[in-house]
Amino acid sequence: MALRFFNTLSRSVEEFVPLEPEGKRVGLYCCGPTVHDFAHIGNFRTFVFADLVRRWLEFKGCAVRHVMNITNVEDKIIQRVTAAHVSLPDYTAQYEAAFFEDFQALGCLRPHETPRATECMADIIALIGKLMERGLAYRAPDGSVYFSIEKHQARGGRYGQLLKLNFEEMRPGQRVSSDEYAKEAVADFALWKARVPPDGGVFWPSPWGEGRPGWHIECSAMSMKLLGPSFDLHMGGEDLIFPHHEDEIAQSEGAGLQAAGQPFVKYWLHGAHLLAEGKKMSKSLGNYFTVRDLLAQGFAGREIRHLLLTAHYRESFNFTLDGLRAARMALGRLDECLGKLREAAAGAGAPPDANLLEQFTAALDEDFNVSAAWGTIFEWVRNMNRLAASGELRPEQAAAGLAAWQKIVLVLGLETGETAGAPPELLALLEQRNAARKAKDFKRADALREQLQRAGWAIEDRPKGALLKRL
């Protein structure tokens, strides 16, 4: 079955056909973090989904080149650098490092390229220069450079490809210098911002004077540098559709770098907003969660990832602590079933369960329907548990299920096994407890069990050895 998903560009579900003639090489760009603070769980919904998309394309035999930028210069960052009285690199480095720690905790594969905006300044300036040469950009009286929507459209360009815009409300010559602006503010946007006193030491030389790039031009320059002027798939949250992604299309295609008939990006894939405890996340409401907040509360990265991958990407999703507890229980049921299968397989070998893989594949091929995919998995778990309880689970059947799961888990990005994610020091305590039981020192064994329980882990004794399971 072919992969189909909703392309924001066409506003319809389409079959995914890569630009590369043989259909195996795929260029994927996902707008990455703006490193002015710790990324919150809403940000990570996008990044976990992008990771799932990459894994699924690789599962289907594609050679994916995954690029995710690091926005390390823009309006908010400069404001915080000025307030903190530190250098731009010192300020952003701490949050970039924290981001990748959280990224790894959620089981995300590191992108093949993670360009920083400040390291691509020559490419950004060259792209702006190309737009100036083509007459689509102009220098304002303050020295800033803007993209002209009117001239772009006069040259046959289309502004408003990702969503419908009301051009009757647009005032000719209106300019927007900020990186973010309201949907109603359709206007020329900044490509290069002239240096002003509040910028402090954050500026670069350019043919138009000292300054810094606008946010939108950064992504265009970095994506085309690493994936070429036309590539397959661009991802991000739905909040980026306008103005960020619309501006990316205009300036990238306005530069005229694509081959005749080729778009800047063929498919645009956007994830829906995330709510927290039923409301928009806000520190004042106490529902603002970062990954490190949740890890500090004792939740595991795999539990957070599982919860983020339970709802369809185009549906708004309510992230709750109760939902995380439910994710813990669901993964516990899955781990318990896998443990039974390992015991039942008893070293037997078998090809992967074809029915399980077919149903899982059909779900994800239809617009990344991860909810249906999980339904398939837990129906399989119920069936395996029933067979195990009745003594009807054959070793070859268990081995086939495990072989299928080994393929599925690579897509879902979840650790396997009951002790997956247990810190080494807790595994050491488990070994000490096992040794105490063997020596019939039951008082010490019980004390170690209680110590593990206080740390959030339960011991499950099985014929082939004790295992740790999260509470």
Nearest-Å Rg of the Cα atoms of the chain is: 26
DSSP code string of 134-169: TTSEEE-TTS-EEE-HHHHHHTT--S-SSS---GGG
> Hey, what are 205's tokens?
């030389």
Q: What is the pLDDT of residues 232-262, one digit of tens each?
A: 999 999 999 999 999 999 999 999 999 999 9
- Phi–psi pair at 31, nearest 5 degrees: -60, 125
Q: Are strands 465-470 and 457-462 parallel, antiparallel or unpaired?
A: antiparallel
> Hey, what are 320's tokens?
């709750």
Instruction: Give the model's pLDDT for residue 172.
Output: 52
d(CA 221, CA 245): 13
Long-range own/partner contacts, residues 426-431 (CB < 8 A, 24 or more apart) = 426/452, 426/455, 426/457, 426/468, 427/468, 430/459, 430/466, 430/468
Length, in residues, of the chain: 471
d(CA 99, CA 43): 10
Unique residue bearing structure tokens 């779900």: 363
SS3 state at 461: strand
Instruction: Give the model's pLDDT for residue 347.
Output: 79
279 touches 285 (CB < 8 A): yes
Q: What is the pLDDT of residues 139-165, one digit of tens each?
A: 999 999 999 999 999 999 999 999 988
> Hey, what are 125's tokens?
């300036």
DSSP-assigned letter for residue 283: G
d(CA 267, CA 335): 36
Give 246's contacts (C-beta < 8 A, 6+ positions apart). Answer: 159, 160, 161, 162, 163
Instruction: Give the model's pLDDT for residue 118.
Output: 98
d(CA 469, CA 331): 10
As assigned by CATH, the class of the 276-412 domain is: mainly alpha
Torsion of CA 14, 19, 25, 27, to 10 degrees: -80
Instruction: Give the model's pLDDT for residue 415.
Output: 66
186 touches 147 (CB < 8 A): no
* C-alpha 36 chain-centroid distance: 18
d(CA 106, CA 101): 9
Fold of 4-271: Rossmann fold (3.40.50)
Give pLDDT < 70 ranges for the chain. 1, 169-173, 181-185, 415-424, 462-465, 470-471
Instruction: Give the model's pLDDT for residue 417.
Output: 44
Cis peptide before 243 (omega within 30 of 0): yes
Q: What is the pLDDT of residues 439-470, one digit of tens each?
A: 888 889 889 888 888 877 778 776 656 777 76
Q: Is residue 389 exposed (0-12), middle (13-18) or buried (19+ Cβ within 10 Å)?
A: exposed
Q: Is residue 432 exposed (0-12), middle (13-18) or buried (19+ Cβ within 10 Å)?
A: middle
